[in-house]
Structure 1
């Protein structure tokens, strides 16, 4: 038995590692900077706790929440592990006692908040001891593109590099989009070979979107039908939590509340009572939940729309940690969007980060309104290259309105993808029979499927492609459509493909191109303009427009700001500060 397995069994009482835990630990022990992206409840902490007990010296764990580090240290101490924390709530004497233990080599794991690195005493302490490993818990806080960016997390990196440059760095998070992942990898000097991810898909979570106008009535009925179940009701504001809890009390249902406006004692007491099943229901803001170790949470209801899918995924991830089926229900109304927009406008973040927050809110709204599988939608949000199949149990998969037969259209698409290696954009052009330069130049107008959906709108063909991908009949990877085993069930007439009503009108075949970007020359001119602006403003090119967005602009060739704002990913800030430069390039190109 290796030292990894023996530590796992002896110190944590576990027989086997969960997916990717072993690979992450091995990478760390081989002295590689490493990133682990593992779903909430999948044992991220073990990925640095096990190496900390194998490596000589004191591992430092940077943790964002005082309550979280206290809970983790208490749990470790109960297992007989030498763990301590230092935070601003401690008395000077208690801090000095921990310092002494650390200095004497009696601490294997030391948990600190990033702000601790501003203390000259702390820096003197870490200079005097051997630190083999620095772990960044909740590592999405490092990235300004993350949903919970904390500047102190990013500011700590140069300090660590200056004082403990030879320490291995391991970053762990449950919620990293591709932008966030790339940002973490760049900041912590992690090679792509040492990034380990598992799918965000949780097979035991039943996802439901309910657009009821009677949210309080829905919650009351739900709780009366699930009296033995434990769950969290999330609300967007403190006032809303008080209001919901009062409504439940008036209707004979006992619940606790949790938000940042309560005293520390009251928050701790309510959390303790909920975890110990004294009260089944807690109504809370998003201040509640990080590090909550309660396995039998059977439901999570969001009374309001969250600001982004990362927060939503992290919050619903607290359900069903025991592996049993649990429900995650999203309620909301139109005022929720205005509230989230207000939060963004009031945020102290920079303009480009606010723009990113607006884009994330747009994706959250799309999730609420989509007709596609909710589970697949979340998977594709975090990893657009992952193959998805419908979960078969979310509210969209069970939608009785999924009755429109689109098998014929699906077959055209699958046959086309079998004959050619193409992107969804090119598939739309071919199926609609567009006579664009890039199609003619590549002789794609000779494809037998060319024009087979000539009386369909671009948006309708786009809907068909998304449905076929999200139902698992094609795989979309690196923006290319690939056949899978399931594709042949449609080609062989074994499966029919159904969707919701989506045809809006019939339209005559048009010669306007869906993807004029390859008109490579316009795309290149837009890239040149972006580079010029990035140098002038001293920012990264991707902060202006990503390559994907530039391609979209080159496809659609907007003529004015009204056209530009319709392109997904362009909000008010980018419209005002960057768009005029690109509109000018397009105008010149058209001339």
Structure 2
């Protein structure tokens, strides 16, 4: 049945991955969340159920241009659809509402702000609406990169107006916390969450460290005559500067930013979409709802503030399935600018900390030497099994000259010998020979591999583990590491695994504690203190300090504010208001004789 609807209206014979699963969940009447990669046909997931259902499907959409494009596309397939937004005249609004009551169309697109209008609310009460679709559903969540309070505020209103309607929420960019937030707000059960990998094999990612960004962009475009592409810049001034620079070198381009008149924006967008102009230089105001299939490259002149925004923007490339390049350029000034705007924003300290955390992950992507696509996939779904893409800038890097097959084999042999799943921290502690409480408790110090990599620093073994995870030789799920089929390639064949050189060269030895992974007993104490503070202040625990910051406290055991401020996740506000509580816990723990025995003194290279 759904295949007949798919072919009749849209001309497709088969569904893309996960579309059928979402559609069947929606058709069953269940509130449903679908997270699909950009360009994977999310709209069909509510359009097909809407065509098969009685009455009108109400679509909540964030942008006027997005509504217009989707309504026009539906009409071209023979589906009756309308939108209500501020571009319409009063007589057109009246006509659309009259025709809605007459059952003249199947889909009505509106912005959430439309529900502030009492006339519209009365109109909705009279309609037969079995399904409400939230397009770009990440806008619902306060943790989403495009959070719109109106998207969240409208939910109780819709529940009151049409209590029997089912919800379907669709997005391409939802981290685990965003998914959970959407589920809570729309009452979506876990079994009705349908996730698809964000991985797109035709997108070739790279990071270019050049200081001559404008010259790089010019040379890149000159080598790809007539190729269609988007260049994103952080500010209107930079957009116009890049555009003028390219025009001076005879590169035909248009610009798009919020400072242009609506007529200019529409004209420039039309010229790009129809192929009249191959290149558009734009701020992030350009793109949502853009469905030009043959965009061959997207270049970011500046570092975005988070990976969600970056993925959303590069996702506009290669929608025809052909190879497209996504290149990130940046400078330290970009980071400083983001930090400045976060510090000066009107958001709560909790929100600011959340944005700083997102920026940190974006910076990590910009600096990592590991597979870029795997890095991004793991960001959105930490439990997804990944393998190296083989075609990103890092996978193809000529700097991957160090063969880490011996280190890889040591890690995997330890995992095979224990026969149990271990955390990263456990593996590091065993290989480095750290006799911590948790290692002794689990008798891991009795392993023949205990101390087999004692000359390696914690960060070096972290690097090895991350390479093995992002190359697919280990699966990291729910904080545990698991052997997989690809593990055997290393264990049995001792295959070569190349990475960037990471070993440090040292000339002398000093005596230091080997307890450089988190002390679990101390971590539990810090976690309990965080929970108590959060409850007292009415905050979420993660807004005080993240788990990663607490683990750093447990690992490094800072004893002063001067030491604490050096730890990632500690800013001036938290240093003053929260750190004294945690310093007290750390000092008490270190004064305990049992705690002092957690790390042995040992001569290791440094």
TM range (shorter): over 0.9
1:188 matched to 2:175? The reply is no
Inter-partner Cα distance in structure 2 for 1:27 and 1:21:
10
Partner of 1:302: 300
Q: 1:83 to 1:577 in 2, by over 3 A?
A: farther
After TM superposition, what 4+ stretches of structure 1 lie above 6 angstroms from structure 2? none
Q: 1:479 to 1:193 in 2, by over 3 A?
A: same
Residue of 261, 264, 283 corresponding to 1:263: 261
Query: Given that residues 390 and 397 in structure 1 are in contact (C-alpha distance below 8 angstroms), is that contact kept between their aligned partners in structure 2?
Result: yes
> Equivalent residues in 2 for 1:169-318 (5 A)?
169-318=167-316
Query: Given that residues 436 and 519 in structure 2 are in contact (C-alpha distance below 8 angstroms), is that contact kept between their aligned partners in structure 1?
Result: no
What displacement does 1:546 show? 4.4
Partner of 2:590: 590
Inter-partner Cα distance in structure 2 for 1:8 and 1:430:
55
Partner of 2:417: 419
What displacement does 1:339 show? 1.9
Inter-partner Cα distance in structure 1 for 2:494 and 2:530:
49
What displacement does 1:565 show? 4.0
What displacement does 1:549 show? 4.6
Q: Secondary structure of the equivalent of 2:375?
A: helix
Deviating more after overlay: 187-196 vs 101-110: 101-110
> Equivalent residues in 2 for 1:449-464 (5 A)?
449-464=449-464
Inter-partner Cα distance in structure 2 for 1:178 and 1:567:
25
Deviations 1:95-152 (A, max 9, x none): 1111112222223111111111111111111112221111111111111111111111
Inter-partner Cα distance in structure 2 for 1:215 and 1:113:
38
Partner of 1:29: 27
After superposition, the CA RMSD in angstroms is 1.7
1:428 matched to 2:425? The reply is no
* 5+ residue gaps, structure 1: none
> Equivalent residues in 2 for 1:558-569 (5 A)?
558-569=558-569
> Equivalent residues in 2 for 1:399-414 (5 A)?
399-414=397-412
Query: Given that residues 438 and 516 in structure 1 are in contact (C-alpha distance below 8 angstroms), is that contact kept between their aligned partners in structure 2?
Result: no
Deviating more after overlay: 386-395 vs 304-313: 386-395
Q: How many residues get paired?
A: 587
Q: Secondary structure of the equivalent of 2:435?
A: coil
Inter-partner Cα distance in structure 2 for 1:508 and 1:10:
74
What displacement does 1:509 show? 7.5
Deviating more after overlay: 133-142 vs 346-355: 346-355
What displacement does 1:459 show? 0.9
Q: 1:82 to 1:255 in 2, by over 3 A?
A: same
> Equivalent residues in 2 for 1:539-578 (5 A)?
539-547=539-547, 549-578=549-578
TM-score scaled to structure 1, two decimals?
A: 0.96
1:76 matched to 2:78? The reply is no
Partner of 1:383: 381
Inter-partner Cα distance in structure 1 for 2:332 and 2:234:
13
Partner of 2:604: none
Inter-partner Cα distance in structure 2 for 1:494 and 1:542:
41
What displacement does 1:555 show? 3.7
Residue of 513, 516, 538 corresponding to 2:515: 513
Q: Secondary structure of the equivalent of 2:230?
A: strand
Query: Given that residues 559 and 587 in structure 1 are in contact (C-alpha distance below 8 angstroms), is that contact kept between their aligned partners in structure 2?
Result: yes
Query: Given that residues 255 and 282 in structure 1 are in contact (C-alpha distance below 8 angstroms), is that contact kept between their aligned partners in structure 2?
Result: yes
Deviations 1:153-190 (A, max 9, x none): 11111212222222111111100111111111111111
1:5 matched to 2:3? The reply is yes
What displacement does 1:569 show? 4.1
What displacement does 1:510 show? 4.7
What displacement does 1:534 show? 2.3
Q: Secondary structure of the equivalent of 2:58?
A: strand
Query: Given that residues 404 and 497 in structure 2 are in contact (C-alpha distance below 8 angstroms), is that contact kept between their aligned partners in structure 1?
Result: yes
Deviations 1:345-367 (A, max 9, x none): 34333221121111111111111
Partner of 2:139: 141
Deviations 1:193-223 (A, max 9, x none): 1111111111001111111111111111111
Inter-partner Cα distance in structure 2 for 1:112 and 1:575:
45
Q: Secondary structure of the equivalent of 2:210?
A: coil
Q: 1:485 to 1:374 in 2, by over 3 A?
A: same
